[in-house]
Amino acid sequence: MIIVGGTYKEIVSSSPASEVVYGSGVRAVDTICQLDKDISIDFYTCCTSFERKIRLRYAPFKNLKFHTTPSEDITFYYLHPFNLSCISPRPDYFIHDRKLLEIEGEDVLVFGMLEADFHINAKRVVYDPQNSVRPVLFSNTGSQAESLGYILNAHEARAITDSDEMDDQARFLFEREKCKFVVIKNGTKGAYVYDQNVDTRYNIPVYVTPKVSCIGSGDVFSATFAYYWFKGHSVKEAAQYASKAVACYAASGSTEDLLDKIEHFSYSELLPQRKGQIYLAGPFFSLSQHWLISEFYNALHQENVNVFSPLHNVGIGGDETAKADLEGLNRSDVILAIADGLDAGTMFEVGYAVKKGIPVVVFNSCEHGNDLQMLSGTGCDIVNDFATAVYKSIWYAIK
């Protein structure tokens, strides 16, 4: 099996903070080595100082061969998983200094890369563009595959096809790319799989986990899908394995013992029953409070859910705003409350929701447990991770 993808440093500032060398290619290697420790992998990537670290990390896997093209090392900085704050060097640095990777083989998993283009001639290819702004069609790279499949997220599908309708997106790719399947990942709502034509569509569920580590989850999905599809499983079966692998990864933030976790899988599936509405509660009286509310608001909108935010829907006002806020809360299916600062208005909204039987997700990054005993004691779901708070709120809203 051949894997083509990036090797990047990823720095996350939010709780829990982390700094690792992964990227799409390395994470795919990591995933497939956990699924099959004896598989032969040729890994094509670009980097310089990161190469020694990844070679040492995967030294125990004797059937793994590295093909590294020297290139400027790239770092991704995230304030939180829904906010890519900076890429260093800037992406435009690579406009005039892009590498070209020439690959021939049987089975190829290829990810779009900031620093490199590719030219592939293979029997079977799984292609993940990895670019929500300007994704590149496989055919426009001059590459060829006897059997080609696309895996994209909803933003990439929209950008690459210039259409908002999922069926039309799949139809465009079938007609233009002559591909065998199209998988469109839809975040918190699972994935849609089109097999051979638009009329054959499967909805692959998302699985509810107690924690959600989402940076790199798309890499895990594509790698797991490719592994099982190359082994002869159907497109639907490969997508089901991939969704389970993502749940295992999200729950732990790691691919360690991935095969065993998939074989002993226990998370419950969730297929959306409605769009729902989330009430976003929290103080917005200082710049930092305003910023945090807006970050949650934008993250929820990225996932295409209805959000009622007193800041954004009502605005800053006097006593007259309370009635409009409560009307929004009464129409909502879940409340996402920011507990930092223990704002009196937010605590009132939480109590009101509990009394009404509305589920409450509480985001807390700095308050002591004793200060939240009344919330935990009344069934509120308290989390200290940004992505987990977003995902849990949406799951409550759509189920």
Regarding whether 309 and 203 lie in a shared domain, the answer is: no
Q: Which pLDDT does position 15 carry in this prediction?
A: 62
Closest by alpha carbon to 334, among 302, 300, 298, 364?
Answer: 300
Q: Which of 237, 253, 270 is the last residue of a domain?
A: 270
Residues with pLDDT less than 70, the chain: 15-16, 317-318
Per the CB < 8 A criterion, the answer to whether 220 and 245 are in contact is: yes
Regarding whether 229 and 102 lie in a shared domain, the answer is: yes
Q: Is the dihedral of CA 297, 299, 300, 301 positive or negative?
A: positive
Q: Which of 214, 245, 270 is the last residue of a domain?
A: 270
Regarding whether 283 and 249 lie in a shared domain, the answer is: no
Report the CATH number that the domain containing residue 302 is assigned in CATH.
3.40.50.450
Regarding whether 322 and 235 lie in a shared domain, the answer is: no
Regarding whether 92 and 240 lie in a shared domain, the answer is: yes
Regarding whether 281 and 227 lie in a shared domain, the answer is: no
Range of the domain at 216: 2-270
Regarding whether 243 and 307 lie in a shared domain, the answer is: no
Regarding whether 67 and 102 lie in a shared domain, the answer is: yes
Q: Which of 242, 270, 298 is the last residue of a domain?
A: 270
Regarding whether 41 and 21 lie in a shared domain, the answer is: yes
Report the CATH number that the domain containing residue 81 is assigned in CATH.
3.40.1190.20
Per the CB < 8 A criterion, the answer to whether 209 and 192 are in contact is: no
Residues of the chain by 3-state class (helix, strand, coil), percent to 5:
40, 30, 35
State phi, psi for 194 to the nearest 5 degrees.
-110, 120
Q: How many domains does the chain have?
A: 2
Regarding whether 220 and 87 lie in a shared domain, the answer is: yes
What are the residues whose beta carbons fall under 8 Å from the beta carbon of 18, sequence distance 6 or more? 10, 11, 12
Regarding whether 373 and 253 lie in a shared domain, the answer is: no
The whole-angstrom separation of Cα 141 and Cα 119 is: 6
Regarding whether 260 and 284 lie in a shared domain, the answer is: no
